[in-house]
Amino acid sequence: MAEGIPSPGSVEAQIVAGTLHGDKQYAFDEAHDPDHPADFWFQESEEGLILFVVFYTQACRWSRCLGCNLPARMSRRHVGFRNLMAQVDYLLDHPEVRSRRQALHKVIVSNNGSVLDEATFSSTALIYLIAELNLHLPKLAVLSLETRAEYVDPPELEFIARALREGETPTQLELAIGFEVFDERIRNEIFRKGLTLQGFEALCQLATRYRFRLKCYLMQKPVPEMSDEEAVRDIANAVAFLHDRSQRDGCHISLHLNPTYVAFGTVLERRFRLGEYSPPRLRDVARAALHAEGTSLSVFLGLSDEGLACEGGSFVRPGDEAILARLEAFNRTQDYDLLREVVAMPKA
């Protein structure tokens, strides 16, 4: 096999095939130091302080969702467990993390793909991470693992949940799933997510059985085929569905609503350049989130493009500072009056 050409059936070949299927035009980040995470940041929520970490691993094997360039921050090639363990050490020894150890309530673990896919995220490193969190974060109440549904393995999760209960504070396990779009045709035929409603419902039942929490990522207006009104309506339909599942199954479900930015190197960027797409406006994000008022769902609004938007492709527009401040305050308080204030603000 020639150097640089992945072997047929390998994980690398799957990544390349998914990238081609999704018509992506970006490179992977092979220059990143494999002993350092790709990124980490802090979030403030009603639950308390959150640490969000993106570990640097081999890229998502699916890699075909329209408008997603998250794999561009990962490696096309395998990243071993020793590198990942070094990333854990770097993270927990970082001054910003060390200074907040006593305040951290929740850690969200991502690799811009599936943390539960052992082919791209070492099981050894995952167990090491949990042990280190137990040792160093005494107030940790929730560990959230981002994954695609097909990598959810009940015996593995039961073991992880047991390990988490051994910390100073018993820690709940949360599965974070990209649901993205409620409309199934748009989700799978246009956005190419590869998640059926039946598959998601099975995941809800599993989470209920093991008393895991569930977090669902939704994207507002992720494809050019949706108008702004259709995008708000899709979020409203998703909220109604998730609330019903939560009530029916007794499963704790939270909603992470991401307004869509135009990710570089994707079909969405090309449609944006042709004038066929514009990101949602933050006022419409507030309108969409208001549908969760009075439901069983907690809501967090994703207000950063993580530096992955193309030039001019962010959902944050000039003059949005006052709106952003209210939406950030909503994340901390779940005060829906803040959303009503945003909706009532005069349009620029």
CATH number at residue 264: 3.20.20.70
- DSSP tag of 217: E
CA dihedral 46, 51, 54, 55 (to 10 degrees): -150
Task: Answer whether residue 337 is part of any domain.
Answer: yes
- In angstroms, the CA 153 to CA 301 distance is 29
Nearest to 253, CA basis, from 307, 177, 180: 177
Task: Answer whether residue 3 is part of any domain.
Answer: no
Task: Answer whether residue 98 is part of any domain.
Answer: yes
Whether the per-residue pLDDT at 3 is higher than 70: the answer is no
pTM of the model: 0.95
Whether the per-residue pLDDT at 279 is higher than 80: the answer is yes
Task: Answer whether residue 318 is part of any domain.
Answer: yes
Residue 246: CB atoms within 10 A of its CB come to 19
pLDDT of residue 6: 52
Task: Answer whether residue 223 is part of any domain.
Answer: yes
Contact by Cβ (8 Å): 221, 229: no
Q: Give the range of the structural domain holding residue 326, as residue numbers without chain letter.
A: 11-343
Nearest to 234, CA basis, from 211, 259, 251: 259
pLDDT interval class at 50 (50, 70, 90): very high
Task: Answer whether residue 312 is part of any domain.
Answer: yes
Once rounded to an integer, what is the mean pLDDT over residues 275-299?
97
Side by side, the strands of the sheet bearing 39-45 are: 39-45, 48-54, 104-110, 142-146, 172-180, 213-220, 253-259, 298-301
Render pLDDT for 244-263 as a digit per residue (tens, 0 to 9): 999 998 999 999 999 999 99
Task: Answer whether residue 1 is part of any domain.
Answer: no
| Backbone φ and ψ of 338, nearest 5° | -65, -35
Whether the per-residue pLDDT at 235 is higher than 90: the answer is yes
Task: Answer whether residue 5 is part of any domain.
Answer: no
Render pLDDT for 144-195 as a digit per residue (tens, 0 to 9): 999 999 999 989 889 999 999 898 888 999 999 999 999 999 999 999 999 9
Q: What percent of the chain has pLDDT over 90?
A: 90
Q: How many domains does the chain have?
A: 1
- In angstroms, the CA 52 to CA 142 distance is 12
Contact by Cβ (8 Å): 180, 191: yes
Average of per-residue pLDDT values in the chain: 95
